[in-house]
Every structure is written in C-alpha cells, then in structure tokens.
Amino acid sequence: MSDNIDEFFEAALSLVKTAGNLITEYREGCKLFELKSSDIDLVTEIDKKVEETLINGLSNKFPDHKFIGEETVSDGGKCELTDDPTWVIDPVDGTMNFVHGFPHSCISVGLMINKVGVAGIVYNPILQQLFTAKKGQGAYLNGKPIHVSQMTELKKALITFETGTSRDEERYKAMLENFQLIVNKGHGVRSLGSAALNMCMVALGGADAYFEFGIHAWDIAAGAVIVREAGGVCIDPAGGPLDVLSRRVLAAGTTELAQELAQTLVQFYPERD
C-alpha cells in the first residue's frame, strides 16, 4: 500500500508544481472573477484551470481514482466520499487573497483511501511554500521536517481563524462570538484567508490551533494529514472525531488545547456537504 501511496503522491506533486505556474502569473492579483454562493465567495478562471489540470492529469494516470474538486462540485458535480482512492482538491484555497494580490493562496490536494487521509500537499507558489505529508512518514515544509507546538493552554495560545465566505446570519453570530472569546482568553488571533495554510501554520508550530465552521472537505483534507503527521490533532470543534464532510474543523498541536477549545467555542452546525 505505501508503495502505491508514494507513486500517487509523486504524480500529484509533479502536477501541483506545474499548476502552480498558473497562479504565479498573477502576483498583482487576478482581477477577473465570478461570484458563487455569496458576494464574498469568488472563483476565477485560474481556479478552474488548476482543478482541470490536476484532475485530468491524475485521472489519466489512475483511471479508477475518484475526485472531489471544489469547482467541479460548485458546478453541480458529486461530493461523495467512498472507500476508493479519492483526491480532495481545492485548486486555489484563498481565492479572495488571490484576487486581491494578498500572497497567501495555495493549491491544496489531499488523498483519502478507505475514507482515511493518507497524503497531503499544500503549495503556495507565490511564496514558494511547499507543505507535504504522507501517512506515517512525517510532515515537511520545503523538504525540512516540521512539528506542531506543545502549547496546552488557551490563555497562552495563538489561534488562526476565518471570517468565511458566507453571510449567513447564524454563522456570523457564532463567528463573532468566538472571535471575542478567543481574543479575550488567548494570546491572539491570526487570519490568513486560507484554511489549508492556517492548518499548515499549526503543523509548523507557528499557530497553536485553527478552527472554522463553514469550510468544505477540499479546504481541509490535505491540511489534516499534514497536521497529524506533524504530531497534531484534527477533530470536530465540539471534541468528537473529525468528519471531513461536516463543514467543521478544529486542528491543534495538542489534545489538551483542542479539548479546551472544544469546551469553550460557541458551536455552529452548517448543512453537511
């Protein structure tokens, strides 16, 4: 099995690096975009081209593999996770950043087999940050091993957090209440505008935890493998096991911090993918 995963990973990595060139042409920002579910949920032609490059390349090499791609699902495709090898892809995670030229956008590619994350690639081609992990083989930034922080207390923790891409009133209310809670109780809040890169900051040990309500499987599949291989935990924000289709995630360097956050956060339950 691990030989296959190495082969799958190497093929994906080569395609991700190629697709990254489509993003780096827009250092000042990709000003042409369309709206999806709200006026802050954007998609560009590059999102679609990157996803097409990855899915075509991987399905040519591995015809029996399945795909969950953000833009394919957005265009009406199935969002179905089976036991088959499934690539869970966000072609440009942080599309709002990409449009504005804020250099924190990435290609996020996760591989799940039997519904378990076995490989993750998160690549920010603008800043040349390549986060990678394979199950049981550790997590890396540009080929160097990375490890989560050992922070166990919220009062000393730096938490990454997002405002999201929907203006749903109930979600907003929970998001703002949680923002205030974390600011009052912790060391501070940071918001990169990309779930995948927020999770990589946890894997790097630069942030102590990340949580979000409203993300999708493609935002977190790769980051979950990278955080876990860096020694961290990825769970449901209420403390139970992570369900990548629940649109809820909590990643942390330690179980203790994760559980304290789970007891502290105001919960929100989006409609599942």
Toward ligand LIP, which CB reaches closer, 5 or 201? 201
Q: What is the closest distance, in whole angstroms, from the C-beta atom of residue 216 to ligand LIP in the complex?
A: 7
With residue 231 as reference, give the H or E element that holds it: none
80 known ligand binder: no
219 known ligand binder: yes
Q: What is the closest distance, in whole angstroms, from the C-beta atom of residue 81 to ligand LIP in the complex?
A: 18
Residue 96: name the closest of 52, 43, 48, 49 by CA. 43
Backbone region of residue 139 per phi and psi (left: phi > 0; alpha: psi in -120 to 50; beta: other values):
beta
47 known ligand binder: no
Toward ligand LIP, which CB reaches closer, 113 or 219? 219
Q: What is the closest distance, in whole angstroms, from the C-beta atom of residue 122 to ligand LIP in the complex?
A: 11
Toward ligand LIP, which CB reaches closer, 3 or 39? 39
What is the rounded distance in angstroms from the CA atom of residue 270 to the CA atom of residue 263? 19
- Parallel, antiparallel, or unpaired: how do β-strands 158-160 and 144-145 relate? unpaired
90 known ligand binder: yes
Using DSSP, state whether 11 is helix, strand or coil.
Answer: helix
Q: What is the closest distance, in whole angstroms, from the C-beta atom of residue 2 to ligand LIP in the complex?
A: 29
The two three-digit tokens of residue 225, written as one number: 């493998």
What is the rounded distance in angstroms from the CA atom of residue 253 to the CA atom of residue 147? 8
212 neighbors 162 (Cβ within 8 angstroms): yes
Q: In what order do the strands lie in the sheet with 86-93?
A: 66-69, 86-93, 106-113, 116-124, 129-134, 139-141, 144-145
Total residues found in the chain within this entry: 273
Toward ligand LIP, which CB reaches closer, 90 or 260? 90
Toward ligand LIP, which CB reaches closer, 15 or 197? 197
Q: What is the closest distance, in whole angstroms, from the C-beta atom of residue 245 to ligand LIP in the complex?
A: 15
What is the rounded distance in angstroms from the CA atom of residue 27 to the CA atom of residue 56? 26
Q: What is the closest distance, in whole angstroms, from the C-beta atom of residue 124 to ligand LIP in the complex?
A: 12
- Burial class, 247, CB count within 10 angstroms (exposed 0-12 / middle 13-18 / buried 19+): buried
Toward ligand LIP, which CB reaches closer, 36 or 185? 36
**CB neighbourhood size of 223 (10 A):** 34
What is the rounded distance in angstroms from the CA atom of residue 117 to the CA atom of residue 232? 14
- Residues at the interface with ligand LIP (CB under 6 A): 70, 90, 93-96, 162, 164-165, 194-195, 212, 215, 219
Toward ligand LIP, which CB reaches closer, 113 or 213? 213
Q: What is the closest distance, in whole angstroms, from the C-beta atom of residue 17 to ligand LIP in the complex?
A: 19
Residues belonging to the binding site for Mg(2+) are 70, 90, 93, 219
Residues belonging to the binding site are 70, 90, 93, 219
